[in-house]
Chain A
Amino acid sequence: MPPTTGPFPISRPWKRWAVAAGLVAGFLAFFWLFGGWSLAPQVDLTLSNGDEPQTLDPAMATAQLDGRIILALFEGLTTRAADGSIVGGMAESWEMSPDGLTYTFHLRPGIKWSNGDPVTAQDFVDSWERTLNPATASEYSYQLYYLRNGEAYGTGKITDFSQVGVKAPDAQTLVCTLAHPTAFFLELTSFQTLCPVHMPTIKKYGRDWTKPGHMVSNGPYVLKDWRFRNYILVEANPYYWKPVPVHRMKVLPTSNANTTFNLFYSHKTDLILDTRSIPATLVADIKDKPYFHANPFGATTFLRFNVKRKPFDDVRVRTALALALDKHDIVTKITRAGEPIADTFAPPGYKGYTPPQGLGYHPDEARRLLAEAGYPGGKGFPDVNLLYAIRGSGPQQIATEMQALWQRELGITSIHLRGQEFNVYLNTQQLIDYDLSLSAWIGDYNDPQTFLDMFVTDGGNNETGWSDPQYDQLLATSENTVDPAARMKILSDMEKILCVDQVPIVPIYFWVGMALYEPGKIGGFEPNFVDDHRWGNFYIPEKKP
């Protein structure tokens, strides 16, 4: 046999073909096994949730999109109806003591975990201990600081959990003792942080307990499959206390808004839940389509002043900048989803709450105040930076518009834009190392306090350096006021100090929650103020009994 002449040691053509075929077969086999290919599972609904969840551990989750999946898998003492109102979840009924300090919850009889174990009041005690325990490092553990001694335990000042205000006198009864009356406590008990977890599963699997096959949950759905950044599959929990209308759902983590919209447009997803997943540039075009749904949502974009720095230590300068801002211009030119402009900080729509009259848009008064403060026509105004987060194009456009508006109305030319990558921006803001900062706040619960308690002196989220003893005093009074009407009045007075008298912040606009779905395809999805849509409420209209 002559020596091989080609570059490869195999000379016969059929051998080459065999090698090639073998390589192709091996390649296909490898990627079938490891490449995440699978037969598409049959599902009743496909949802686009915005991004890959960071975690499905109720105690650890902080992001809204994580919360949406977690609240399909887990359920707290209370839950939400489609319209956002609080209804019984694991608890069938509850009583509040007249002083507003003690809540006694009665669990539904026969409630079970997805493995058949009974859900008991002790499960709540153990889960809350886990969340509060500093060793767990739960970033949202402060949601349990409303319990008596919750904060002390959560920050390691006491180590005896029996001193914390939660007790299980029997398997069906949970008694919560609060640090002070908390009007929105039943809102908190519906939130993911206060959902119970199955402690034996966590003990068994540690960090891996949220994997499919490991996770035991108590909500309307159970986790069937979780392909990282590909999809999550949830299926109705047979042990849930009532029938779940939609049997199986697929959750897509597509993070790119255009891709998500393409999937919706080509009927590959039935519902886009996440406001950020709807392309901002398209909103104006699709706003009038039957599949576009928007509703007021408890979140506000606003401007923070660093009141420790010149010239914003002068309330007249702050007021002038607030009065000169034509917010209408921003919502019609940039955001364009029908966002209402904001003259007060807490969004309108909280039950029983009447916000004060805000500052509004009065450029003449603004110019007068600025001149009075020593900068007539913007002359002599020092160089300052306007900080914003580089996160999509929205914040940059808004900051640019604000810069132009102040130049137009007040003649200030020395405001410079300072965009920072989101994480760096948060850090800069926390260190109060800015002059002006474009910020946003999403309410944690359905009550204006979630906005107003931020600005208490040295509050963790104040970040303006602003402090007002009267404001602090009013907050303390409101926290001990049980009568809802009187409490709302105090909150309104606080808001007047914040947005009219002292102006450490300028509210700009309120958000709208957006969702895309064909109305005939999904039922049980109603606009609600907290933009909190529990998947257990969904149904498919033609299948509705």
Chain B
Amino acid sequence: MIALIVRRLIQAIPVLFIVVTLTFMLVRSAPGSPFASEKKIPKEIMDQLEQEYDLKGPLWHQYAQYMWKVAHGDLSISTQYRNRSVNEIIAQTLPVSMTLGALAYCMALGAGITLGALAAVRHGQWGDRTLMLLALLGISIPSFVLAPMLILFLAIDLGILPVAGWGSADQIILPALCLSIPFAAIIARLTRGSLLEVLKLDFVRTARAKGLPEFAVLFRHALKVAILPVIGYSGPAAAGILTGSIVIETLFGIPGIGPFFVLSAENFDPFVTSGIVLVFSSFLIVFNLVADILYFVVDRRVRLE
């Protein structure tokens, strides 16, 4: 398995290389300039700015300079936040998003699997229908609708949670809830569907025939198999949830990395855009690998070769 992990990580290098190259080329070929301003900047100053940020000269030269830095772990500097390097921006914002994301992820997994299992057990009954309707709502209501509604209800009308901000435990609950709901809904549906299939299998009948309590049949035996599609989904989902949400972080004023996916493109901050794409791609690769390993751990039928 170690060999597999090493091989997959080595394979990731050319993938990341292509991703960074494409991002850099796309960003640099868009019209507009990182230094565009309402007020005209004297040519001498513009030249100096471009010089300072290695945005001068032919594109291949800029690209070579950038790749040289990236190879040395230096993601260059932000053109928007003039006194900050991209490394620094990521180091300050990513852990914030990861904190929020990790909590939301745990909430989504816990709630999603439990509710999905409940729905499967109550298959076709009133409880199942209610839960699946809620799940459908959870998937289809966009977060920019859900979050303001929850803020209005829980934070402004009832006043039990803060409306926004970051830095204390109570401030994380509402955004984590908003962030987790669509994921929880998808996981609930996946769990339900998969569990319904598994409950028809022979080994479940055997377990029941042995006289095991229904709870043990469900959670010890059936769920262990039914969880596979959830694992498959939660790898990429983890990459998404841990790298922050544009909408949630903006609405709750959370200093995470999420808004930079849009902000850096809006601001024409080329190195921040490339840096963030690099981080996101790495997360995606790592979490897909983790999901594959979990598959193997949970289901011995899976061969990693």
Contacts and interface: CB of A to CB of B under 8 A. Distances in A.
29 contacts: A7-B297, A31-B102, A34-B95, A35-B96, A36-B166, A62-B39, A137-B48, A137-B52, A154-B42, A207-B83, A227-B92, A229-B92, A230-B166, A230-B167, A256-B250, A258-B148, A258-B251, A259-B251, A259-B253, A262-B155, A262-B156, A263-B164, A263-B253, A265-B156, A421-B266, A427-B33, A430-B40, A460-B42, A461-B38
A210 B81 CA distance: 12
Contacts of A140: 39
A210 B83 contact: yes
A103 B92 CA distance: 46
A98 to B, nearest CB: 32
Given A57-B82, A134-B48, A460-B39, A423 B267 contact: yes
B82 A461 contact: no
Contact of A55 (B81, B99, B166, B267): B81
Given A137-B45, A268-B164, A423-B32, 11 more contacts: A31-B99, A35-B96, A54-B82, A60-B82, A134-B44, A155-B43, A229-B255, A255-B250, A259-B164, A266-B159, A268-B162
Interface in B250-292: 250-253, 255, 266-268
A258 B165 CA distance: 13
A215 to B, nearest CB: 10
Interface string A239-269: 0000000000000101110111011011010
Contacts of B266: 421-423
Given A54-B81, A263-B165, A423-B32, A141 B45 contact: yes
B111 interface: no
Interface of A: 7-8, 27, 30-31, 34-38, 40, 52, 54-57, 60, 62, 134-142, 154-156, 207-211, 227-231, 252, 254-256, 258-260, 262-263, 265-266, 268, 421-424, 426-428, 430, 440-442, 459-461
B208 interface: no
B13 interface: no
Interface in B68-124: 77, 80-84, 89, 92-93, 95-96, 98-99, 102
Nearest to B91: A34
A427 B37 CA distance: 8
A34 B90 CA distance: 12
- Give chain B's interface residue range (CB within 8 Å of chain A): 35 or more
B163 A266 contact: yes
B302 interface: no
A317 to B, nearest CB: 26
Contacts of B45: 134, 137-139, 141, 154
A60 B80 CA distance: 11
A135 B152 CA distance: 50
B49 interface: yes
A382 to B, nearest CB: 24
Contacts of B205: none
Given A210-B83, A423-B268, A427-B36, A154 B164 contact: no
Contacts of A252: 165, 253
A228 B164 CA distance: 16
A265 B151 CA distance: 12
